[in-house]
Structures are given as structure tokens and as C-alpha cells.
């Protein structure tokens, strides 16, 4: 099997893994785990796995100074903010709809660029922006399966945080290996939710007699975080960022299918059409940037 095919397989498997985030998040809530507890353990376990992999490769480089500060900021305000809004959104929307709305983040990046660097914007990018936002508007306007507008606004907050993470990480990645940066970002995100949970009295360590709760936490950390991240980087090295970003648009489709299969979430024609508009918009954006 050639390297390109292997790379495509890695990235596709990564998209499937990330597509399970909402599934395990919903299951975690069903067994009584709070959002701070779920996310603190998710990032703690995933961080340990990623640092273990880096150590095995002899690449456990610790950041310091300004780069460490940037990593902490990206972890708290970027990836942490994205995750918090995402899981909050799961309380109002199905896992499939949350994944679809989150995938407007490339359109938000384009919108920011429209104001900061208008010379980089082209007609097709503006059209792609309209497609993605139009897809979300269609879903909300038609109200399929009870698409709560509050949930959409919350998840758009997640997309904004993720867009900020992507824009902010561009500068840092000029001098830091992506995997090393991620290994610093995830602990910062975990500490954020540990602090929130401790301050609000909502963080709790599940008892050893609660195997379902621990199973959800470990599955979320491994199958939805550490493994997909590792597979994505393995795929990137083989097929490049542009092709990988397009293949990754399979993620919301995976979330919709798994939501229906595992959680018995309803899927309507409007959901499919709106999600398709979002994904097509993302693909156009990725091909034009």
C-alpha cells in the first residue's frame, strides 16, 4: 500500500475518532458526570498519552518563556473554550448538530481575514462563507428535530474559540513542532476545567465502583482525543495539510451517523442538506487557502 493511501486512511480514521466526541460527551452526561469533570479527565489522560509518545520518540521538548505563555493561552482560551462551549451545546442540541455547527469555524476564519487582510479574500471564499453560514441558518430556520437556537449560539461560541485557536497557533507553529504544541495545549485546557470544577464545586472523581463513568472518560480521552490527534499527525506527514483538511470534513457526517445509531438521534432531510452546505463551504475554503 502506498504512502498516500496510508495517509488518507490515517486522516479518515482520525475524523471518525473526533466524530465520537459528542457521543461520549452525551453518554458522560447521562451517567451524571459534570462538564468540568469530563473535560478535566479527558485532557489529563490524553496529555499523559501524548507526552508518553513524545518521550518514546525522544521529542519531549518543554516550551518556556513566551512560547509557553502562547501555548497556555491557546489551551485556555482556544481549545479549552472550544471544548467547553461544545459540551455545553450538547445539553441543547444533538451530537450531530453540534458537530455540524462547529464546522463553521473555517468560515469564521475567513470572516476574520475579510477584515484583517482583505487582499487575501476572493469571490469563491466569500461564497464558501455564505454556504457554511447558510447551512446553519437552514438548520435553525427549519428547526429540525428541535434545533434549539440557544444551542446553536452556544456552539457558534465554540466555533469562534476554535477559529481563534487556529489563527493563534499559526504564529506559534512557525517555531514549534505541532505535536509538541498540542502536548502543552491539552494540559492547559485540563487545568482550566479542573479550576472551574473546583471553584463551582462540580468536579468529582468517579468512584472505583463506577466502571461506566470511567469507561466513558477513558474512551473520550483515548478514542476521541489522543488516538485521533496522533493519527492526524501521521496522516499530515504523508498527504499534506490541504488534502488532510478536506478529508477531515468527514467528521460531522460521522457524528450524525453515530448519533443516530448510538443515541437514537433523529436525522431529517433538512439536517442533511444544511450539513452538506456547511461541508461544501469548508471544502471550498480549504481548497482556496
Poorest-pLDDT segment among 118-122, 136-140, 242-246? 118-122
pLDDT number for residue 142: 63
In tens, the pLDDT along 1-52 reads: 778 888 889 888 999 999 999 999 999 999 999 999 999 999 999 999 999 9
Write the CB contacts of 158 (distance below 8 Å, at least 6 apart in sequence): 81, 82, 83, 84, 85, 86, 89, 98, 101, 102
The predicted structure's pLDDT at residue 237: 80
pLDDT tier at 114 (50, 70, 90 boundaries)?
confident
Q: What is the pLDDT of residue 282?
A: 75
Q: Of 248, 249, 266, 246, which is closest to residue 257 (Cα–Cα)?
A: 266
Number of Cβ within a 10 Å radius of residue 22: 30
When comparing pLDDT for 275 and 48, which is higher?
Answer: 48
pLDDT of residue 141 exceeding 80, the answer is no
Residue written as grid cell 444551542: 151
Binning pLDDT at 50, 70 and 90, where does residue 143 land? Answer: low
Q: Which band of pLDDT confidence, cut at 50, 70 and 90, is reported for residue 123? A: confident
When pLDDT is averaged across residues 139-151 and rounded to a whole number, the result is 69
Q: Residue 289: pLDDT band by 50, 70, 90 thresholds? A: low
For residue 161, name the pLDDT band (cuts at 50, 70, 90): very high
pLDDT digits (tens, 9 = 90+) for 61-100: 889 889 999 999 999 999 999 999 999 999 999 998 899 8
- Angle 65-73/149-172 helices, nearest 10 degrees? 170
Cα angle vertex 80, ends 75, 81, to 5°? 120
Amino acid at each position: 500500500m502506498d504512502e498516500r493511501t496510508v495517509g488518507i486512511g490515517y486522516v479518515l480514521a482520525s475524523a471518525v475518532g473526533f466524530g465520537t466526541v459528542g457521543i461520549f460527551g452525551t453518554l458522560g452526561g447521562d451517567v451524571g458526570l459534570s462538564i468540568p469533570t469530563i473535560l478535566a479527565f479527558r485532557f489529563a489522560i490524553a496529555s499523559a498519552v501524548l507526552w508518553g509518545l513524545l518521550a518514546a520518540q525522544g521529542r519531549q521538548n518543554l516550551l518556556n518563556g513566551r512560547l509557553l505563555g502562547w501555548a497556555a493561552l491557546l489551551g485556555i482560551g482556544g481549545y479549552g473554550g472550544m471544548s467547553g462551549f461544545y459540551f455545553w451545546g450538547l445539553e441543547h442540541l444533538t451530537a450531530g448538530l453540534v458537530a455540524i455547527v462547529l464546522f463553521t469555524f473555517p468560515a469564521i476564519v475567513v470572516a476574520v481575514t475579510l477584515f484583517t487582510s482583505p487582499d487575501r479574500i476572493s469571490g469563491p471564499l466569500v461564497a464558501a462563507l455564505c454556504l457554511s453560514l447558510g447551512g446553519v441558518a437552514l438548520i435553525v430556520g427549519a428547526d429540525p428535530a428541535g434545533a434549539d437556537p440557544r444551542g446553536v449560539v452556544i456552539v457558534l461560541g465554540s466555533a469562534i474559540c476554535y477559529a481563534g485557536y487556529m489563527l493563534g497557533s499559526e504564529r506559534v507553529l512557525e517555531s514549534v513542532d505541532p505535536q509538541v504544541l498540542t502536548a502543552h495545549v491539552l494540559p492547559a485546557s485540563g487545568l482550566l476545567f479542573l479550576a472551574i470544577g473546583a471553584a463551582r464545586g462540580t468536579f468529582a472523581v468517579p468512584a472505583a465502583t463506577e466502571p461506566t463513568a470511567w469507561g466513558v472518560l477513558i474512551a473520550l480521552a483515548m478514542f476521541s482525543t489522543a488516538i485521533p490527534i496522533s493519527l492526524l499527525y501521521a496522516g499530515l506527514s504523508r498527504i499534506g495539510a490541504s488534502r488532510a483538511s478536506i478529508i477531515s470534513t468527514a467528521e460531522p457526517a460521522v457524528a450524525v451517523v453515530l448519533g443516530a445509531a448510538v443515541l437514537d438521534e433523529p436525522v431529517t432531510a433538512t439536517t442533511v442538506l444544511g450539513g452538506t452546505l456547511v461541508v461544501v463551504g469548508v471544502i471550498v475554503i480549504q481548497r482556496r487557502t
